[in-house]
Amino acid sequence: MQLRTVRATQYVTALREGGSLPAIVAADDLGLYVLKFRGAGQGPLALVAELVAGEIGRELGLNVPELVFAEVDPALGRNEPDEEIRDLLKASVGLNLALDYLPGSTMFDSAAGDTADAKTASLAVWFDAFAMNVDRTPRNANLLCWHRELYFIDHGAAMYAHHDWTTMIERAASPFREVKHHVLLPWATRLNEADEQARTTLRTERIAEILDAVPDKWLMRDDDGISAAEKRAVYQDFFSRRLAASAIFTEEADRARAQLV
């Protein structure tokens, strides 16, 4: 698997509602992207999660805006008046992650009457339980409505177990109780079908390809003392075990849904 690489040519505007201060940027392919900065407080592991979980979602058949690598060069922020943004750009010179900007999209809001079909909702709940993504709640849906379809964004907080990679494997069979807050849970009436479909779609070879696309530097920390290849092997093991444990988190999601009504 190969992501395209673009070069950011213009900082258009900050997306202030995003905690990591992402921005809309223009790139050298004339496209507009939402850039997630490597130098943001969440650290490079947020970009690892954004890439890996995002591509897993796409593999499962969910809509995820195209992900690309985005080069930021030191000239980009030079005339930026806001000091916080200037610092963020300075800390992010080099490779970052960006996603295709969906103009005119709106955030999913069930209070405003947005709904989801059972198949998409069930697959989405399965996906977020698999990826351990806590950021799909009614308050912060990270789900865009665009051209009458749902698009899944913001996976930086997914795979939270990877922040302590020494205990990551132990947590691979977690039921993921946080699923009870999932924004699409009320529509997720076909969870067992979603589980079957997901387990046939998601091949471990594909997960390996996705992990290979992650830049080594994003995986490394000074104090770890292990190589990027060893890290990838831990992730691979984690996802294999998580896949084998899908009955556990599918059941948990079913139980949580039953308690909603």
Which residues are near ligand ATP by CB under 6 A? 15, 17-20, 22, 34, 65, 99-102, 105, 107, 135, 140, 142, 144, 153-154, 156
Question: 3-state SS string over the chain?
Answer: CCCCEEEEEEEEEECCCCCCCCEEEEECCCCEEEEECCCCCCCHHHHHHHHHHHHHHHHHCCCCCCEEEEEECCCCCCCCCCHHHHHHHHCCCEEEEEEECCCCCEECCHHHCCCCCHHHHHHHHHHHHHCCCCCCCCCCCCEEEECCEEEECCCCCCCHHHHCCCCCHHHCCCCCHHHHHCCCHHHCCCHHHHHHHHHHHCCHHHHHHHHHCCCHHHHCCCCCCCCHHHHHHHHHHHHHHHHHCHHHHHHHHHHHHHCCC
Q: Which does 55 bind (CB under 5 to 8 A by kind): ligand ATP, Mg ion, none?
A: none
The site for Mg ion, by CB under 5 A, has a size of 2
Of residues 120 and 133, the one with the C-beta less far from Mg ion: 133
133 binds Mg ion (CB under 5 A): no
Interacting positions 38-97 with Mg ion (CB under 5 A): none
Binding segment for Mg ion (CB under 5 A), chosen from 7-15, 79-87, 153-161, 224-232, is 153-161
Q: Compare residues 140 and 197 and give the one whose CB is closer to Mg ion.
A: 140
Q: Which residue's C-beta sits nearest to ligand ATP?
A: 18
Minimal distance in Å, beta carbon 145 to ligand ATP? 11
Q: How far is the CB of 68 from ligand ATP (least distance, A)?
A: 11
